[in-house]
Structure 1
Amino acid sequence: MAPGDKGPQGGSRAAQPDHESGAAVADFVMVTMLVSFIFVGLMQLGLFLHTRNTLIASAAEGARMGARADASPADGQARARELISEQLSSRYAESVDVGSEIQGGVRVIVVRVSAPAPIIGPFGPSRGLSVTARAFAEAQ
């Protein structure tokens, strides 16, 4: 209705009680909560991906270090722990395992990292992260 139009009982619309007073406040609260949950979810995803990518890069660097001709696999393990501790936290570097395998007739250094998943609130994966990196050993 346009302003000044008569309502169904013949009175003006301005004289009738407004049944939607306060609806803007309720809408604002509901939309704000929805946007907040989406923001927290995106922060959770970003933190998880950052942690995962950092663990992958650190494990790969550790595998390359352990595969050098003048280094041992234990050097690669130490390098991976050092990088993870510097970039994330020492609690993420507690489970760094190194070993060697033969793949296709070539000796390969393998670094495995298991770490807790970063969680904001009750959201996030229920199990931790596990990444593996491999590098061909220079000394065959």
Structure 2
Amino acid sequence: MTRRRSVDRSPPPCRGRFGSDAGNATVEFALVAPLLLAVGLAVLQTALALHVRATVTSAAAEGARAAALAGADLAAGERRTRSLLAGSIAGGVVQRVTVRREVHDGTLVVAVGVDSQLPLLGLLGPTVMHVEGHALAEAA
């Protein structure tokens, strides 16, 4: 007994103007590329803001250590902070550097405060950021 196979005699699927996949990649890229670009720029902007914050904080702490040395004055801490910031990307956003001696729980410390702009759009930003660095003052 021979088995007969049925032959599909239906017409081939329409491959006309609307049935083709040609050109879909271009449209998908045009729709997805701006979203990927926006996400990439947001990541870069966040990295820039965190870098500026870390640089300013590090310079403030280093300035506090310089002013806390035995025989050093407060101006040495300000000079050290400004010199570190002048050579970095954060140097252009610094507004004010303050140095003062404080007593915390009976311990003399030197505090260096730095006011700078938080870069929200490139290196421009309306938000002022205040960071402080502290160091234990050495006895003279």
2:96 aligned residue: 95
Q: Which runs of 5+ in 1 are unaligned?
A: none
62-71 vs 87-96, which deviates more? 87-96
Two-structure CA RMSD over aligned residues (Å): 2.4
- Count of paired positions: 131
Inter-CA distance 36–15: structure 2 relative to 1 (3 Å threshold): closer
2:139 corresponds in structure 1 to: 139
Q: Which residue of 1 aligns with 2:43?
A: 42
| 2:127 aligned counterpart, secondary structure | coil
Query: Which letter does structure 2 place at the counterpart of 1:67?
Result: A
**Share of identical aligned residues, percent?**
31
CA-CA distance at 1:13 after TM superposition: 2.0
Alignment of 1:1-140 (within 5 A): 11-18=11-18, 22-120=23-121, 127-139=127-139
Give 1:127 shift: 1.5
Q: TM-score when scaled to structure 2?
A: 0.80
Q: What TM-score does the superposition give when structure 1 sets the normalisation length?
A: 0.80
Q: Distance in 2 between matches of 1:118 and 1:25?
A: 35
Moved over 4 A (4+): none
Structure with the largest fraction of strand: 2
Q: CA deviation at 1:139?
A: 2.3
